[in-house]
Amino acid sequence: MTISTDTMRILQPYPGIYAYYDGRMNRRLYSPEPNWLDDGAYTLGTASYAIVSEGHALVYDTHMSLDHARFIRNHLQSLNVSKITVVLSHWHTDHIAGNEVFADCEIIALVLTADTMDKNREALAKRNPPISPVIMPTRTFDTSMTLPIGDRIIELHHFDIHSADGNVMWLPEDKILFAGDTLEDTVTYVSEPEHIATHIQELKRLRQWPIAKILPNHGLEQRIVDGGYSPDLIDANRAYLERLTGPHGLALADKQTLEDFVAPELASGAIVYHAEYEEVHRHNIDAVRKIRAF
């Protein structure tokens, strides 16, 4: 099945840095029935990134479908890119769905990511839409790695936020953080509720970095165009998790909309309200309630 990419936008927040953004368009791409592509990736808005320097491109995540990945590769070819290296931020569907298009390239990921992809091959193939075959990383690392891409130096670092295998990309000279799903706007998606305490501590660790701007995979298009988010996004994501898991967090969340629940962070401008995250918030409440039941 061909998935339309006619709403894909190519953003360029910085010279040589491209964001391939799709979604938040009040339509469905794949099916009228519930599915992860429409109800998660496209509804919330998804960006993959490329850093291009001296004919070499680093692609950070391969997007939500093979067609989106082909769009990215075609654009890079139009820029006379002759070498592509792929880096995966983590193992979730909307970050690895396009891997097959880059199967002839080096694909770098954390050992944790490779292991989790391997363990979930069958489950990924049964998702709607399916990811099959699962194209695996060709090179792995444990905690950090430094990569030369043309005349740029790029660092990869492990953070256990959102998913145990979170892999952020850091440009030390520019102080730009590519966050994957470790940070989101409006709020983080709680995929591993049993690890929220770890996620909060890891967010505190990330906040110690000298970050100038943050480019998340799920965020507001205009913020990405304008160069990304301030480090206040880290504080907003942490405050949300702390509030939700606090002594009266669930009771408060049950009485409020997401917009009310994160009112302080919205007022400060750290995040921007996107109505589709109300459903994410309800999912997060249920996830926290389930672990509290044990």
Residue 4 located in a structural domain: no
Residue 208, domain member (yes or no): yes
**Is residue 52's pLDDT more than 80?**
yes
CATH code, 186: 3.60.15.10
Q: What's the mean pLDDT in 104-118?
A: 98
Provide the number of structural domains found in the chain. 1
Q: Quote the domain boundaries for residue 58.
A: 9-292
Place of tokens 């940070």: 183
For residues 230, 232, 238, 242, the Cα torsion angle rounded to the nearest 10 degrees is -160
Helices 232-245 and 277-292, interaxial angle, to 10°?
A: 50
- Domain assignment of residue 63, yes or no: yes
pLDDT at 155 over 70: yes
**Mean predicted lDDT score pLDDT of the chain:** 97
Positive or negative: CA dihedral 60, 65, 66, 72: negative
Question: Taking residues 63-73, what's their average pLDDT?
Answer: 98
Residue 30 placed within a domain: yes
Count of residues in the chain: 294
Its pTM surpasses 0.85: yes
**Alpha carbons 84 and 104: distance in angstroms, whole number:** 9
256 confidence band (pLDDT: 50, 70, 90): very high
3 is a domain residue: no
In a domain? residue 1: no
Strands annotated E in the chain: 9-14, 17-22, 46-53, 56-60, 83-87, 106-110, 139-141, 144-149, 152-158, 167-171, 176-180, 213-216
Q: Contact, 102 vs 84, CB < 8 A?
A: yes
Q: How confident is the model at residue 174 (pLDDT cuts 50, 70, 90)?
A: very high
Is 257 inside any structural domain? yes
Res. 292 pLDDT band, cuts 50 70 90:
confident
Tell me whether residue 271 is in a domain. yes
